Amino acid sequence: MAEKIKYELEFPIRTSTKVLYNMLSTPSGLSEWFADDVNIRGDVYTFLWDGSEEKATLLTKKNNEYIKFRWLDDEEDSKYYFEMRIQIDPLTKDVAVLVTDHAEEDEVDEAKDLWDSQLNELAHVLGA
Determine, yes or no, domain membership for 33: no
> What would the pLDDT profile of 28-65 be if each residue is shown by its tens digit?
999 999 999 999 999 999 999 998 999 999 999 999 99
Determine, yes or no, domain membership for 89: yes
Q: How many domains does the chain have?
A: 1
Per DSSP, the residues of 25-46 read HSHHHHHHHT-SEEEEETTEEE
Determine, yes or no, domain membership for 35: no
CA angle, 69 then 70 then 75, to 5°: 155
Determine, yes or no, domain membership for 47: no
Instruction: Say what the pTM is.
Output: 0.91
CATH number at residue 9: 3.30.530.20
Q: How confident is the model at residue 1 (pLDDT cuts 50, 70, 90)?
A: low
Determine, yes or no, domain membership for 17: yes
Determine, yes or no, domain membership for 40: no
> What would the pLDDT profile of 105-118 be if each residue is shown by its tens digit?
999 999 999 999 99
Q: How confident is the model at residue 3 (pLDDT cuts 50, 70, 90)?
A: confident
Q: What is the pLDDT of residue 79?
A: 84
Whether pLDDT at 77 is above 60: no
| 51 phi/psi in degrees, rounded to 5 | 85, -10
**Domain membership of residue 88 as a residue range:** 4-24+60-126
Determine, yes or no, domain membership for 51: no
For the segment 11-19, the average pLDDT, to the nearest whole number, is 94
Determine, yes or no, domain membership for 122: yes
